[in-house]
Amino acid sequence: MKLASIILDIPTQALDAPYTYAVPDDAGGDQPIEVGCAVVVPFGHRQAVGFVIGIEERIAEEWPDGLDPSKIKPIARAVSRPYFDEEGAACAQWLSERYLAPLSSCVRLFTPPGGVPRMVRANAGYWRLEEPAVGEVDDRWVVPGPAFDGFEPRKNAVKQASIVAALRAGELRVAELVAEFGAVSVALKTLEGKGVVRIERRRRMRGFAVPPARRPPEPADGAESAQPAGPSFIPSRKPPLTEGQAEALAAIDAARARETGEVVLVDGVTGSGKTEVYLQAIEAALAAGHTACVLVPEISLTPQTVARFRGRFGDTVAVMHSRMSAGERFDQWDFIRSGAARVVVGARSALFTPLRDVGLIVIDEEHEGSYKQDSAPRYHARDVAVWMARRSGAAVVLGSATPSIEALYACSQDPAWHHVVLPERANGRPLPAIQVVDMAKEFGGGSRSMFSHALVCALAEELGVGHKAVLLLNQRGFASFLLCRECGFVPECPSCSTSLTFHERGNFLICHHCGYREVAPSVCPECGSPYLKKFGAGTQRVEAELRVLLDGMFGTDSGVPIVRMDADTTSGKGAHQRLLEEFAAADAAVLLGTQMIAKGLDFEDVTLVGVVNADTILKLPDYRAAERTFDLIEQVAGRAGRAELPGRVLVQTYEADAAPIRAAARYDRALFLRDELPKRRLMGYPPYVRMANVLVWGKDEPSVRLAACSLHDGLASAVRDFGGDGWSVLPATPCVLAKLRGTYRWHIVVKCPVEDDLSRALLPFFRKRKPERDVNVAVDIDPDDLL
């Protein structure tokens, strides 16, 4: 008998193992049952969708005593082609165990966005199969038939004559003929019957302009192809490599050739040419018959980034990120599955696309927090990539100007991790000088402006000669909050324990956690005082004051544009690219934005970078605050002076003596680490320990508190039985953001020595634990923060 292991598509920790079903003898129908495909199976008194993760043949002698094979339920039918293979199934199971996540959530990572059928409850408790929300788009094309050239329509066949005349200019879609001539179905049927035209169905790729004459290539597995290759593609020019780049490329090629899953950390200053190293390493991998996956932080996935990879590898590049529509992402996923894609560029989810024979995985800006998933499974893309590479023999390349402390530590401890340094820019230009401006000393003991005298003068000088400037502010909105100067009242979100942010355009207050908004009051709702003061500086407020400043410098008719990029202005599709194009096209302009402008931007005429307030992240109650401050200053500084024009950087701060700011101003990582690492070791934080953050939340605060305290006791007992010295369970406490979207939040932190298996200790406890009705619990293994 042939048996299949099925993971049910029901997101609950209670279903913590695959279920066994029989593969029916007549399973070779329209869609055979294979590993990776979705199937419909009986489950209790209903049917459910599941994913096949294994198939095996068993004979009667192999059955355990007492198990009746006749009682094993058969699979009803397959409802999709395979989404993944055995390696994908193994990775899903590893993710579930490593990150204590439901099996179905892990398998879902490997399925096409919006392209999976699911069971939905209908009326009277009846369950029905709902088809995928997105799928392939087949267009009907009208092409000349064998009798086209000699055909002369009758004089009164006006519509036929119009269609034939239109086709003489080239092939057309039926939809285009309908738009031009109205209903054409009868005329087309007549012409098709006479052999004048043929009607063909062709796959259309959403979001990509494909010339009608270009047909998709046949994929290796016989599946329908998604995107054609260029007919006469000429790759972009390869610049000569510097000595450092050549050494990095040699280290990557050697690691890939050894096929043991090694990691190469490319530690290169901004502008050192890390991307060119990636491109040439990918080219070598492709020449060896492999494919490559390139991960880029979502905020760095700009049109500039994608263009560099497409310029080198043409139409063999697939792109996956969240700013694409569900249909566009499905098409790109299917393009990868077809085998026509050789390089995948995308955010962290691109790691799970069906790319075959991967020889190289590149993770750019590896220090970025966006590589950590914030919902189940709470994986870190770096750790998953290393696991995948060790299974397949691929090489992993981590690149950053500011590598994470964990990556640097791994290079010092693990012989399979290699550290290569690019200390100079590829064009030989020096790194821009960084000047720290102590805002506490401005204007004699406390600045009255958000722009220091030094920054004002620098803006006047650089913009005055037609150069560009970049200003970074790690906030959005007009001000952080409103405060009544009479009674101290601050408007707060009713669902989250945070103040509301004031937006000048529209005069409203909004919570950037849950989206709640209200009209900004003209007087204090508590005491009626009209004296409401705006505290903090959001991007809207900086933009407004900068506009006044520039108009004063150059006159209101100067037209120096201010391009603002934050989560508000880039929310629309294509907005990111449009704003960058607007900035690039201007003679002199200011790009004002949040962290999304700190990396990945390459403009030759940017000569000034200003950090309006470097203290925003530094003051967060998080153990990574100092590291993130250091990283952000160095990253944004690298936007200046990238070509022939010299650059300079001004960092405004009220903490001028803070080690991260002093170290960043001198590009001195050693200084930063000498200050930071002893604190991490003393307090017991990564890289010296591993952590799990157990989150507990619910609508009723007493219930959450009681559940958190009870959970702490259970965890302490489990850890005591499993671990030894160096293991600890901290007391249950409210989260820093204690209330979010109407739910109360507590957490428990578990720590263990870095060499121990934290997941193996916690997995049995949480698998046996019965869930509570009104309180939710989630485990974040290796959390990126504790907020």
Output the known binding site for Zn(2+).
484, 487, 493, 496, 511, 514, 524, 527
Binding annotation: 484, 487, 493, 496, 511, 514, 524, 527
Contacts of 304 (CB under 8 A, 6+ apart): 580, 600, 601, 602
**DSSP per-residue string spanning 276-299:** HHHHHHHHHHHHTT-EEEEE--GG
Q: Whole-angstrom Cα distance, residue 203 to residue 162?
A: 26
Using CA atoms, how far apart are residues 281 and 290, in angstroms rounded to an integer? 11
Q: Which two tokens stand for residue 538?
A: 């959001």
Q: Are 297 and 192 in contact (CB under 8 A)?
A: no
Peptide bond into 377 cis (omega under 30): yes
Contact 324, 335 (CB under 8 A): no
Exposure b/e, 590-611, CB count within 10 A at least 16 = b: bbbbbbbbbbbbbbebbbbbbb
DSSP state of 499: B
Using DSSP's 3-state secondary structure scheme, residue 132 falls into: coil
- Count the Cβ atoms, other than its own, within 10 Å of residue 486: 15
> What does 541-559 look like in DSSP terms, one character per residue?
HHHHHHHHHHHHHH-TTS-
Distance (Å) of CA 270 to CA 299, 359, 362, 594: 17, 26, 17, 18
- Of 612, 609, 613, give the one whose Cα is nearest residue 590: 609
If you ran DSSP here, which 8-state letter would residue 315 be given? G
Token pair 């094309």 is found at: 141
Annotate 338-380 with DSSP letters as a single string.
TT---EEEESGGGGGS---SEEEEEEETTT-GGGB-SSSS--B
Those residues with Cβ within 8 angstroms of residue 523's Cβ, 6 or more apart along the chain or in another chain: 529, 530, 532
Of 785, 735, 409, 753, the residue nearest 623 (C-alpha): 785
Neighbours of 578 (CB within 10 A): 15
Residue with tokens 């507590």: 746
Which of 435, 409, 461, 397 shows the shortest CA–CA distance to 645? 461
Q: Six-digit token pair at 296?
A: 């880029």
Sign of CA dihedral 251, 253, 257, 261: positive
Question: Cα–Cα distance between 651 and 737 in angstroms, integer?
Answer: 29
Tokens linked to 384? 């998953």
DSSP lists the bridge partners of residue 172 as 142
Cβ neighbours for 330, distance < 8 A, ≥ 6 positions apart: 112, 113, 114, 115, 134, 135
In sequence order, what DSSP letters do the residues of 412-462 get, joined into one string?
A: HH-TTEEEEEE-S-TT-PPPPEEEEEETTTTTTTS-SSSS-HHHHHHHHHH
Nearest C-alpha neighbor of 539 from the set 614, 589, 586, 478:
478
Q: Which residues contact 388 (CB under 8 A, 6 or more apart)?
A: 87, 91, 351, 358, 361, 394
